[in-house]
Chain A
Amino acid sequence: MECPARVGENPQVLIDYCAGAVPADVAAELERHLEQCPLCREFCRAQARVWSELDIWEPAAVSASFDACLRERLAQDGGRRWKWIWKPAIPLAAVAAAILVVALWRGPAGAPASPITKKSESVDVEQVEKALEDIDMLKQLYLAPRAETDSGEKL
């Protein structure tokens, strides 16, 4: 076996060995090597010491309020998301409502008559007047020949 401490990436094998993460056959081979190699033996001794020292740092207990705080934050987050969704909708709704109010206010009751309607009304009056004048003219035309025949008969 090549000396793991002397070959490039191989010290990782020694780290895995100290962590108990190598297969049994590799472990047996390494143990045979360690008996002969003081360099690897020293490496493993130091690494095993680090490994056991790190065990001293035990995890702390989770505080009792953790779940309640998280639940509250999730609820707040949900609310905030809704607010975020509704944020642009509020001014849009206000603008739409304002347009609707203006449209209703300027609608049929209060709306001033449009110039087109005025024009059509004035056209109607003129037409009636003209029609009446035409009728008068027709009457005169109708009466004039009769007057002429009456006078001829007399002659």
Chain B
Amino acid sequence: MAKGLWPQLFGSFGVRKHMQAIALEPDAELMLRAKAGDPASFETLVERQRGPVINFLYRMVGSQAVAEELAQEVFLRVYRARVSYQPSAKFATWLFRIAAHVALNYLRDRKNDNRVMSLECAGWASGELQVADQRLTAEQEMIRRARLARVRQAIAALPAKQRAAVVMHKYHGMEYSQIAAALDCSESAVKSLLFRAYERLRTLLADCV
């Protein structure tokens, strides 16, 4: 019993030392608790972060089902990486780095699969899983759906890395430094990606209104 107790005690002292050294954000604290062997902390972490991760992946791949499948892969990787986790960067940045990696890998692998591609193109255009707004008339709802389909198609038309940068910037309010860390490139590269992406979107969505 004593043999099993010591590593636990040392582990928790290590975690406490870390927590005192850095003013930890709640997610990093939960991750460190998961690292120390607390499964409830990991569940809380998933509960807090699954929404942003799934939404990011959904806007990257255009399908809710695929996004949820990829999000599971992301959390599986986070769970496996808990052992070596160090709270050196903001937790969300670290998480989005994994999510971006998973999404970009998926998009790269999917390129040659025409069957999946055609199915997903249909998903991109249809505005799948978007609930009708009850306050709108039928005509307004039709217009809203048409605009939504155009936005989705415009985002889908962007190269994968530009898309990731736009989604992080626009929908997740991430700073250039965070996007750079998540996409593993420099801040000036992120600014360039965003500038070209928004330029393309301005053209594609020019006659929207």
Are A and B bound to each other? yes
Distance (whole angstroms) from the CB of A43 to the closest CB of chain B = 8
Contact B202 A47 (CB under 8 A): yes
Contact of B46 among A9, A47, A67 (CB under 8 A): A67
Contact B51 A66 (CB under 8 A): no
A to B contact number (C-beta, < 8 Å): 87
Interface band, chain B: 35 or more
Q: How many residues of A contact B (CB 8 A)?
A: 27
Cα of A57 to Cα of B154 in the assembled complex, Å:
12
Q: Is A54 an interface residue (CB 8 A)?
A: yes
Contact B64 A46 (CB under 8 A): no
Label chain A's interface by main secondary structure: helix
Q: Is B72 an interface residue (CB 8 A)?
A: yes
Contact A59 B55 (CB under 8 A): yes
Contact A57 B205 (CB under 8 A): no
Contact B76 A56 (CB under 8 A): no
Cα of A47 to Cα of B68 in the assembled complex, Å:
31
A62-B50, A62-B51 are known contacts. Are A57 and B151 too (CB-CB below 8 A)? Answer: yes
Task: Please name all residues of chain B whose beta carbon is closer than 8 Å to the beta carbon of A62 when the two chains form the complex.
Answer: 50-51, 54, 68
Q: Which residues of A contact B (CB under 8 A)?
A: 9, 11-12, 15, 19, 46-47, 49-51, 53-54, 56-63, 66-67, 69-70, 73-74, 77
Known: A19-B170, A54-B151, A56-B151. 10 other contacts (CB 8 A): A49-B208, A51-B170, A54-B166, A57-B59, A57-B148, A60-B55, A69-B68, A70-B46, A70-B72, A74-B75
